[in-house]
Amino acid sequence: MSFPIKITGVKTVVVNAELRNWIFVKVETDQDGLYGWGEASLNWKTRAVTGTVEDLTPLVLGQDPRDIEHILRILNKHSYYRLGIVGATAISGIEHALWDIFGKSVGLPVWRLIGGRTRDKVRVYTHLGLGDMRSVYETFDEGALRDKALAVVEKGYDALKVVFIPYSGFSVDIPSRRHVGRLMRVLREAVGDRVDIMIDFHGRPASIAAALQFIEELAPYAPMFCEEPVLPGDTEALRLVTERAGCPIASGERLIGFKEFEPLFRQNALHIVQPDLNHTGGILEGKRIAAAAEQAFMGVAPHNPNGPIAGAAALHFDVSTPNFVIQEEMSGAVPWYDDVVSVPMRRTGSYWAVPEAPGLGVEINEAEAAKHPFVQEPFHTQGAVLPDGTIADW
C-alpha cells in the first residue's frame, strides 16, 4: 500500500493461560481490515503493562504504522521518564504489531522486511513438562527429572532446558553441589549425547564462587550453556564466571535495550546473549543487539517463555538473524491454545519451519480469548527462602 495509513487505536486483550497472563496488543488503522497483533506479556505485571499501553497510545495515534523507527523514538523520547521493564515491554508489544501491519500492507512475512532469510529452519528447545510451568520450576527429584526429560525427547525435541539449581546464598554446602551433579548425570544418561541440555540458574547464586561451584558439577556433562549464573547487571561478575567456567555461558533475558547489552560485548562477558523480544524493546532493538553480538563473536538464543505472539515475533527474528543459535518456546502451554490463536510456528522434530504468510502470520479469536479473562497469576516464589529464613533470588 503506497497511500498513507494512520493508526486509529491501540488496545490490549488479556488472556489468562493458567500460570501466566498473555497480554496481546492490537494496533488498528484507518484501512479496512488492516491491523496488527503484538504481545507484551510480563510476569506479575499485567495491570502495569496494560495501563502503560493505554498511557502510550495517544503518542502513536495518527502516525503511519510503517514508520517503525520514528514511532519507537516517539515512545521512548516523549515519555520523558525512563520506562524500565514495564514500559519496554509495552513498547515491544506495540512494535510487534507495527511489523505485523507493515508485512500485511506489502504482502510479505516480517522476516523479509528485517533482513531476509538466513536459514531454512529454526532450531527450538522446550522445558520439562512441555509448557507446564509447574514442571519447569519444581523438578528436583531424580526420577521425575528423568521421566519428564524423556517425555520431551519422545515429542521430537533434541534440546531441553532445566531449572534445578537450588536457592543459594553466598556459599553452597557440599550436599547441594553434589545433588546438582547427580541430577545432571541422571539427565545426561537418560537423553544421551545427541540431546542438548541447558541449565537455567535464574541468577540464584549470590556470589561468583557459588556459581562456579555449581558449574564445576555440571561441566563434565557438556551442557549447551549455563544460563544467568549470576544476577544481571554486574558485567564484571559475569565476565569472571565466563572466564573460569568449563562450558558456554548465556545471559540477557532481564536486560532492556542495546544500552544494557553493550557492556557485555565490550568486556566479552559471555558466549551467548539472550534478549527477550517481548521485553527489550521489540524486534528492531533485538536486531541491533544481535548485530553487536556477532561482532563480539557471540551467538543469540532469544529468551521466550511468553505467549504465542511473542513466539511468532521470535520466529521471524530467528529466520533473519545470522548468529542465531536456538530458540526457547512454550507452545501448547494450555489445552485451548489453538482455539484462541492461530500461529505460524510449525514444528517438525526440534525445528520450526520458515513461515510465508504476510506479517507475523498470527490471528487472535477475540471471542475465544474473552473466555479466559485476567486472573492474578500465582506467585511460585514462596520456596525462594534459605534455611535460616533469608529471602533468596527466585
Q: What are phi and psi of 193, to 5 degrees?
A: -85, -10
- List of residues 6+ apart from 288 with CB closer than 8 A: 258
Nearest in space to 148 (alpha carbons), one of 133, 170, 165, 168 = 133
The owner of cell 493461560 is: 17
CA gap 224, 196 in Å, rounded: 6
C-alpha cell at 4: 498513507
Closest by CA position to 299, among listed 270, 279, 320: 270
Sequence-distant (≥ 6) Cβ neighbours of residue 117 within 8 angstroms = 111, 319, 320, 354
d(C-alpha 49, C-alpha 95), whole Å: 14
Pairing verdict, β 351-353 and 121-127:
antiparallel
- The residue type at 80: Y
Active site residues per annotation: 202, 303
Q: How many CB atoms lie within 10 A of CB 29?
A: 21
Q: How far is CA 381 from CA 16, 44, 176, in A?
A: 19, 11, 19
Give the separation between CA 282 and CA 382, rounded to whole angstroms: 31
